[in-house]
Amino acid sequence: MIYQIFPSLVYKENLISEMKDFDISKLEQFEKKEGFSVDSYVLNHKDILILKNIFLRHIDIYTKDILEIEKSVEFYITRSWITEAKEGKFTPTIHTHENAFFTGVLYFNVEEEVDSIVFLRTKPHQYLSCGFEKVNQFNQEAVTFHPKKWDFIIFDSAVPHHMGPIISKKTRNSLVMEFFARGTFGKCNAGNAYNVGELILR
């Protein structure tokens, strides 16, 4: 018997039914520089505020229904920005998202089955690296997702990732957001568990 412990989760839902009446030009209107919107808080704009409620509903599903984080902790959106990737004009880099618990990405302009996001396995340095006869879920070093239009994904901000290669003539756009939390963390303030003290973030 095989047990898989401490899995990394990626939440994915297609929001086409929720976005069918949304004017996509409201996302395309933001000024961009070097592949990113100049504005880092696009979801604070009144004309797209409706989207924030959609994303908050999905972060609740991910954190409360799947991860079963205590209801005393509330997740909210901090930064949010638009990305724009064009063939030959954008260089994907491996990165994580600091000052955030989770990261969300909504894809609204993609070449389906071509554009991608790649998640990388985190592990300590190895002096020797084995080859594998076949890649499977237990030995894979990277996992590639090919998003469809209006796919929305959420993942742990500590997971290294990067955009896949830009091989399409079509411009790739996404709306990226970061989630932080407020509420009561931990419950112990005495005895043997004193080092797990209660922390309240407002």
Tens of pLDDT along 98-111? Answer: 999 999 999 999 99
Could you report the average pLDDT of every consecutive run of 10 residues in the chain (202 residues)? 89 96 93 94 93 97 96 96 84 90 97 94 79 90 95 97 88 96 78 69 88
Q: What is the pLDDT of residue 78?
A: 98
Of the CA atoms within 13 Å of residue 92, those in its CB half-sphere come to 18
Compute how many other C-beta atoms are within 10 angstroms of the C-beta atom of residue 72: 11
d(C-alpha 66, C-alpha 116), whole Å: 25
SS3 for the chain, per residue?
A: CCCCCCCCCEEEEECHHHHCCCCCHHHHCCCEECCEECCCEHHHCHHHHHHHHHHHHHHHHHHHHHCCCCCCEEEEEEEEEEEEECCCCCCCCCECCCCCCEEEEEEEECCCCCCCEEEECCCCCCCCCCCCCCCCCCCCCEEEECCCCCEEEEEECCCCEEECCCCCCCCEEEEEEEEEEEEEECCCCCHHHCCCCCEEEC
- Domains (ranges, CATH) in the chain? 10-201 (2.60.120.620)
Q: What is the pLDDT of residue 88?
A: 72
Q: What is the pLDDT of residue 83?
A: 95
Q: Is the pTM of this model over 0.75?
A: yes
Q: What is the pLDDT of residue 142?
A: 93
